[in-house]
Amino acid sequence: MSIKTVGVIGAGTMGAGIALVCARKGHQVMLLDANQAVLDKALVYLESILTKDVEKSKISEQEMAETLELVHLVSEIEQLADCDIVIEAVPERLDLKKSIFSQLSVICREDALLLTNTSSISITEIAGGLSHPERILGFHFFNPAPVMPLVEVIRGKKSSEENVEVAYRFAQELGKVPVLVTDTPGFIVNRIARPYYNEALRIMGDHVAGVEQIDRIMKLAGGFKMGPFELQDMIGIDINFATTKSIYTDFFHEGRFKPSRIQQQMVQSGSLGRKTGEGFYDYNQ
């Protein structure tokens, strides 16, 4: 494996998790965030995970120190100029991502691979109009990135096959399981998982079965680890609703993805799941 210098943009939970995945495999990581407080928090997060690894005797204290030394906290995008690979993990806003990739197109070497961890924005649109769009690809981790094995490698309309292969191999080098998908709304997982939530909401709305019944059925009859309603409460009902709306919009209102009014009302009422203490279930007791 060739040691690479990897830039990670955005030091939130996703960005910090991705930085850890890369550092654990010995890559130099430049973790970028404009907000120093976010960087500080990311460092605390990395230390807490690695400390647990030491406690469980998965790694030694020296290995922990070596891994942390590989992560460099930076605040200026120009500091990513020498990166071989850059992974962007900022909030899901097209304007923000376009601005970052247009800067990277100028700052980075022509052979640097530019990856976005977007879960819902078109890779083709992010790369559109930029020089060398062939090196811009989707590279979608699942939360929490240090734990979940999957990476969706997303081929934009102008991504080159050569770069797709490099990204695929890089995911394998990181110890992840890559899958290839062309740039389509929701890629694989978020698209195919839509009915798990949406149809459960429809069944509930039509009074075929109630929330607890549906969760119990999907676990005991279907063998799913969590029911669709407890899962929405965990993910955040607002996040789940936003994903459905985005896929529905991007498929030009294809009926299969039509969002649920019940879910919309949950969001409007502020019942967003575990994080607000109340969602489809009450967590205040």
Partner 1 sequence: MITTNKAVLLVGTSPLYAELNHLMVERGYQVLTLAEAMAEPELIELAVEVNSVDLQAKKRQVRELDDLLPPNVPIITTSLAITATEVASWTQHPERVCGFGTLVPLVERELIEIAPALQTELDTIQATEGFFQSLGKATETVNDEVGLVFPRILTLIINEATFTLMEKAATATDIDIAMKKGTNYPYGPLEWADRIGLDEIFAISRGLQRDLAEERYRTAPLLRKLVLAGRVGVRSGQGFYTYEEKVGVEA
Q: Which residues bind partner 1 (CB under 8 A)?
A: 142, 148-150, 152, 177, 179-182, 184, 187-189, 191-196, 199-200, 203, 206-209, 213-214, 216-218, 220-226, 228, 254-256, 258
Complex with partner 1: residue 43 or 239, whichever CB lies closer: 239
Cα-to-chain-centroid distance, residue 190: 11
Closest distance to partner 1 from the beta carbon of 240 (Å): 12
The Cα 272–Cα 236 span in angstroms is 5
Q: Residue 159 catalytic?
A: no
Find the catalytic residue in 140, 246, 260, 271: 140
Neighbouring residues of 90: CB distance < 8 A, sequence distance ≥ 6: 9, 10, 12, 15, 96, 97, 100
Closest distance to partner 1 from the beta carbon of 187 (Å): 8
Task: Give me the residues paired with residue 5 across strands.
Answer: 28
Maximum separation of any 2 CA atoms in the chain, in Å: 58
Q: Residue 119 catalytic?
A: yes
Q: Residue 102 catalytic?
A: no
Closest distance to partner 1 from the beta carbon of 19 (Å): 20
Closest distance to partner 1 from the beta carbon of 219 (Å): 8
Complex with partner 1: residue 130 or 181, whichever CB lies closer: 181
Q: Beta strands 136-141 and 150-155: pairing type?
A: antiparallel
* Alpha carbon separation from 241 to 97, 99, 194, 253 (Å, rounded): 21, 26, 10, 15
185 and 250 in contact (C-beta within 8 Å)? yes
Q: Locate the DSSP E strands across 147-208.
A: 150-155, 177-182
Complex with partner 1: residue 132 or 219, whichever CB lies closer: 219
The Cα 119–Cα 247 span in angstroms is 10
Q: Residue 260 gets which letter from DSSP? A: P
Q: Residue 143 catalytic?
A: no
Closest distance to partner 1 from the beta carbon of 49 (Å): 20
Complex with partner 1: residue 4 or 191, whichever CB lies closer: 191
Find the catalytic residue in 119, 240, 246, 260: 119
Find the catalytic residue in 117, 163, 190, 246: 190
Helix (H) or strand (E) holding 85: strand 85-88
The Cα 145–Cα 162 span in angstroms is 25
Task: Give me the residues paired with residue 88 across strands.
Answer: 9, 116
Closest distance to partner 1 from the beta carbon of 118 (Å): 15
Q: Classify the phi-psi angles of 226: left when phi > 0, otherwise alpha if psi is within -120 to 50, otherwise beta.
A: beta
85 and 4 in contact (C-beta within 8 Å)? yes
- Give catalytic residues, as residue numbers: 119, 140, 152, 190
